[in-house]
Amino acid sequence: MDAYTALTQADIPTREAALTAGVSRATATRKPCPPVIVPAPAPVPVNKIGPDERAHILEVVNSARFVDLPPIQIYAQLLDEGKYLCSISTFYRVLEENSQVKERRRQARHPPRKVPELSATRPGQVYTCYADVVIMPMLVCDPWFQVVEGTKRSA
């Protein structure tokens, strides 16, 4: 690439300079990409809570008094008592770190229901409404089956 630049600065046409240097003219005349500037890491905030404070927040949130409440209600109740542990978003952040961001109330767990299955060991034990569901609509849709005033008409 330096050879191409030197030839073009010496007033040699770009086509000849590219052939001589062995590079394509499109590559040689392309604008160089600016260098990528890696941003400096963000400074650590001075008011960042430590692991002991996070453990205390988790202890308060999981206490028997607050176990069924969402973080915003915990925050409001503690604030009414004059206690400030952290912001609401920090409550959520601490819960997320400990995989506790979910429905906090106790939910009813219903057992999975088994679909009833009919089985017969001899003839005449199991009856279904198959005829009512399948056969009767077919008879009604039959164009030859038209009842008018109690008599059958031919089409």
Per-residue pLDDT tens digits of the chain, which is 155 residues long? 788 888 888 888 888 888 888 888 888 888 788 889 999 999 998 988 999 999 999 999 999 999 888 899 999 999 999 999 999 999 999 999 998 887 666 778 888 888 777 777 888 776 665 554 555 555 555 555 555 554 445 55
Q: Is the dihedral of CA 79, 84, 86, 87 positive or negative?
A: positive
| Planar angle of CA 54, 56, 58, nearest 5 degrees | 70
Q: Based on the number of CB atoms within 10 Å of its own CB, is 129 exposed (0-12), middle (13-18) or buried (19 or more)?
A: exposed
Q: Per-residue b/e over 12-30, b at no fewer than 16 CB within 10 Å?
A: eeeeebbeebeeeeeebee
* Nearest in space to 64 (alpha carbons), one of 106, 109, 107, 108: 106
pTM attached to this predicted model:
0.44
Helix 2-9, helix 14-21: angle, nearest 10: 150
**Residue 18 contacts residue 25 (beta carbons within 8 Å):** yes
Two structure tokens written together for 133:
């569901």
Two structure tokens written together for 34:
């600016």
